[in-house]
Amino acid sequence: MIDPSWIAALGVILFGIGLLGTFYHKNAIVVLMCIELMLNAANLNFVAAATHYGDVDGWVFTAIAIAIAAAEVAIGLAILLSLYSTQGTISLDAARELSN
């Protein structure tokens, strides 16, 4: 079996790339996708720890995190769609209704 620390290292790299994407992009959907990427990196960390300690709780947390990610995507896209219908764009720079 593969060394669990390698899986955690992959998680770290994916988390960093996802973090970079959230800073880099203006399109709200791409930012949402990068947040998904970071969630997946966290899941990799859970799985690495569960494999290392031989404890199944890390898997349970991963399953819960995946289900919550599904709910988060549904809510996030609903918010984006209502933003699009009121503002006509989903650019994060253009949406400053609350600041005025």
Partner 1 sequence: MVDFEAVIFVIVSGAAIVGALGCVFSARVAHSLLWLMFTFFSVAAAFLMASAEMLAAIQILVYLGSVMLVVQFGVMLTRRRIQDVESLPTLNAISAVSGIGVFAFILVLLRGMMEHSMWDDASSTAPTTIAFADAIFNDWTMATIILGSLLAMAMIGASYLVRDERLVNLLWDMGAEE
Contact 62, 43 (CB under 8 A): yes
State the nearest-atom distance from the C-beta of 75 to partner 1, in Å.
5
User: Which of 35, 39, 47, 32 shows the shortest CA–CA distance to 83?
Assistant: 32
State the nearest-atom distance from the C-beta of 17 to partner 1, in Å.
4
Contact 39, 69 (CB under 8 A): yes
State the nearest-atom distance from the C-beta of 97 to partner 1, in Å.
14
